[in-house]
Chains A and B, each alone.
Chain A
Amino acid sequence: MADFKIHHREGEGVYIIDLKGYLDAHTAPDLETAFQKLLTEKKYRIIVNCRDLTYISSAGLGVFMAYIEDVRKNKGDIKLSNMSAKVFNVFDLLGFPLLYEIYTEEKEAMTKFKTVKAS
Chain B
Amino acid sequence: MAANPKVMTKRILSQTGHLSEVRDFISAAAGEFGFSEEDIANISLAVDEACTNIIKHAYQNAPDKEIVISVIRSKGNFEVRIVDYGKKFDPTEILPPDLRQNMAHHRRGGLGVYLMKRLMDKVEYSFQPGKHNEVRLVKYLQKSPSVARR
Contact = CB atoms under 8 A, between A and B. Distances in A.
Contact of B150 (A61, A65, A92): A92
B interface majority secondary structure: helix
Interface stretch (A6-14, A19-27, A37-45, A109-117): A19-27
A110 to B, nearest CB: 23
Given A1-B20, A58-B111, A61-B111, A94 B99 contact: yes
B22 to A, nearest CB: 10
Given A57-B52, A65-B108, A89-B147, A96 B99 contact: yes
A86 interface: yes
A99 B99 contact: yes
B100 A25 contact: no
Given A58-B111, A66-B106, A2 B45 contact: no
Interface string A35-71: 0000000000000000000010111011101101110
A90 interface: yes
Nearest to B20: A2
A24 B115 contact: no
Given A62-B111, A90-B45, 5 more contacts: A57-B52, A58-B49, A66-B106, A69-B106, A93-B119
Interface of B: 15-17, 19-20, 23, 38, 41, 45, 48-49, 52, 55-56, 97, 99-100, 102-104, 106-108, 111-112, 114-115, 118-119, 147, 149-150
21 contacts: A1-B20, A2-B19, A24-B52, A55-B23, A57-B19, A57-B45, A57-B48, A57-B49, A58-B115, A61-B111, A63-B108, A65-B108, A69-B103, A89-B38, A89-B147, A89-B149, A90-B115, A93-B118, A94-B114, A94-B115, A99-B100
Interface of A: 1-2, 22, 24-26, 55, 57-59, 61-63, 65-66, 68-70, 86, 89-90, 92-96, 98-99
